[in-house]
């Protein structure tokens, strides 16, 4: 029987060659980002079909960005109104996220010496949550309320795992409450609305729902507490629910701290960028009190990344130490020139992982419009400022039955 010799001694004798192959590997892996960037460019150029063609090619070489391909594809399909296909893709993303809870030891070892690009992208805490947000929207648009509630419960678990980092995602939290409410789950809906009322700067956007569910459950103290925040008619005979996505979430950027001679600490960050306003004017005016709850996705994404800061710093410190030890070992074995080449190569390899979900909007708003039963045709005037220009969207004519909830998804 032929015995295979271990690779370790050979790699130690030829460290330059092994580092070269690692450099090549990272280059190939980061090439997947080129496809994702191209798809994003098509998407924001209002060419979603071309974006979908690029994403359908997938991460065939390494599968390390497979989750991103699925998440991006799910949003593009949602934008195209192909909600069932979006569901199928995003459910695969959920399965991957669950699988990635256990990262293989080989990935961790590889990234400890080279780059985070060697590790399969698991998604930020916020991105994992927003997979469920889009699934809830897809299911509601398909009138599959039971399935939407399943995703609402999964989203609630994600929120519970990272509550401080994700607590400002008012859109998703209100969407969860709505899913409970649609199926008559008054207790669970009230719990979510009550916590939202505490966390919001002003409880007015959820006051009508909170009062409604509290009254059903006979909780008169809560009714009295939040009734003053209910302005105008609390409800109509039916309701139009609009999911409004505006703007573009900024991509992660690379941050670096370089110490002489060749020590480099790298880390990703989200730049601070203002999101479009959440105000919407509706004409003709609806008969009841409009409720708008919004999330600044950039803010939540920054908080989510900040929650991982300690782990990022710890791993970066280990990686820098390992690279320094490797460079010194090369110098002892192969001389100063080889050490210098090794240091430069490892310096170039120290590239922060800036992969992120690029087709997300800057802001998601849940707009609930009470209306009378009958035929309607509404115009939504969305104020803007700066680079977010004002715009008017005219909805197609629609008819509502008494007690009906009609869902509509818009993106600017």
Span 300-314, average pLDDT: 86
Cα–Cα distances (Å) from 238 to 52, 325, 379, in that order, read 36, 68, 18
Cα–Cα distances (Å) from 54 to 34, 72, 171, 175, 360, in that order, read 10, 11, 30, 31, 17
The string of DSSP codes covering 96-162 is HHHHTTS--HHHHHHHHHS-GGGSPP---HHHHHHHHHHHHHHHHHTT-HHHHHHHHHHHHHHHHHT
Most confident of 26-30, 156-160, 283-287: 156-160
pLDDT of 71 strictly over 70: yes
User: Which residue, 264, 346, 348, 315, is CA-closest to 108?
Assistant: 315
- The mean pLDDT value of the chain amounts to 83
Quickly state the pLDDT bin for 62 (edges 50, 70, 90).
Answer: low
Domain boundaries, the chain: 11-234+244-276+287-368
* 367's tokens: 């707009």
Beta bridge partners of 406: 240
What distance in Å separates the CA atoms of residue 235 and residue 208, rounded to the nearest whole number?
A: 8
What distance in Å separates the CA atoms of residue 315 and residue 268, rounded to the nearest whole number?
A: 13
pLDDT of 20 strictly over 70: no
DSSP state, residue 273: -
Most confident of 97-101, 109-113, 178-182, 254-258: 178-182
Structure confidence by residue, pLDDT tens digits, 163-179: 999 999 999 999 999 99
Query: Which pLDDT does position 10 carry in this prediction?
Result: 43
First to last CA, the chain: 66
Query: Which pLDDT does position 76 carry in this prediction?
Result: 98
Task: Find where tokens 């008819």 sit.
Answer: 399
What distance in Å separates the CA atoms of residue 176 and residue 395, rounded to the nearest whole number?
A: 25
| pLDDT, greater one: 261 or 36 | 36
| pLDDT, greater one: 360 or 262 | 360
Task: Find where tokens 């899913």 sit.
Answer: 179
Quickly state the pLDDT bin for 390 (edges 50, 70, 90).
Answer: low
| pLDDT, greater one: 179 or 5 | 179
The string of DSSP codes covering 299-353 is HHHHHHHHHTHHHHHHHHHHHHHHHHHHHHHHHHHH-HHHHHHHHHHHHHH----
Structure confidence by residue, pLDDT tens digits, 75-87: 999 999 999 999 9
Q: In what order do the strands lie in the sheet with 238-246?
A: 291-296, 363-371, 238-246, 405-411
Say which CATH class 11-234+244-276+287-368 falls into: mainly alpha
Quickly state the pLDDT bin for 350 (edges 50, 70, 90).
Answer: low
pLDDT of 21 strictly over 50: no
């Amino acid at each position: 029987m032929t015995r295979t010799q271990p690779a370790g001694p050979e790699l130690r004798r030829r460290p330059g060659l092994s580092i070269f192959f690692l450099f090549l590997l990272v280059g190939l892996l980061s090439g997947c980002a080129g496809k994702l960037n191209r798809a994003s460019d098509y998407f924001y150029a209002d060419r979603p079909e071309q974006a979908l063609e690029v994403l359908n090619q997938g991460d065939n070489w390494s599968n390390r960005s497979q989750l991103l391909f699925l998440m991006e594809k799910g949003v593009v399909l949602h934008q195209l109104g192909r909600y069932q296909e979006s569901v199928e893709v995003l459910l695969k993303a959920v399965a991957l996220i669950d699988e990635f809870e256990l990262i293989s030891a080989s990935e961790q070892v590889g990234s400890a010496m080279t780059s985070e690009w060697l590790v399969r992208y698991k998604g930020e805490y916020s991105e994992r949550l927003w997979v469920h947000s889009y699934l809830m929207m897809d299911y509601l648009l398909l009138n599959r309320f039971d399935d939407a509630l399943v995703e609402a419960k999964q989203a609630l678990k994600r929120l519970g795992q990272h509550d401080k980092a994700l607590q400002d995602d008012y859109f998703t939290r209100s969407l969860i409450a709505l899913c409970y409410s649609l199926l008559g789950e008054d207790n669970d809906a009230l719990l979510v609305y009550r916590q939202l009322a505490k966390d919001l700067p002003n409880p007015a956007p959820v006051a009508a729902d909170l009062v409604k569910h509290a009254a059903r459950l006979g909780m008169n103290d809560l009714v009295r507490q939040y009734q003053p925040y209910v302005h105008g008619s609390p409800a109509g005979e039916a309701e139009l629910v609009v999911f409004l996505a505006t703007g573009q979430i900024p991509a992660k950027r690379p941050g670096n701290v370089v110490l002489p001679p060749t020590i480099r600490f790298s880390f990703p960050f989200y730049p601070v960028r203002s999101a479009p306003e959440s105000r919407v004017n509706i004409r003709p005016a609806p008969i009841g009190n409009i409720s708008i709850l919004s999330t600044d996705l950039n803010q939540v994404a920054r908080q989510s990344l900040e929650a991982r800061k300690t782990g990022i710093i710890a791993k970066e410190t280990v990686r820098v130490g390992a690279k320094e030890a490797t460079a010194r070992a090369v110098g002892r074995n192969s001389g100063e020139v080889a050490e210098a080449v090794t240091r430069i190569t490892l310096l170039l390899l120290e590239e922060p992982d800036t992969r992120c979900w690029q087709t997300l909007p800057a802001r998601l708003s849940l707009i609930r419009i009470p209306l009378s039963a009958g035929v309607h045709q509404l115009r939504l005037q969305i104020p803007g400022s700066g680079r977010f220009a004002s715009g008017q969207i005219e909805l197609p004519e629609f008819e509502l039955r008494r007690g009906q909830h009609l869902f509509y998804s818009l993106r600017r």
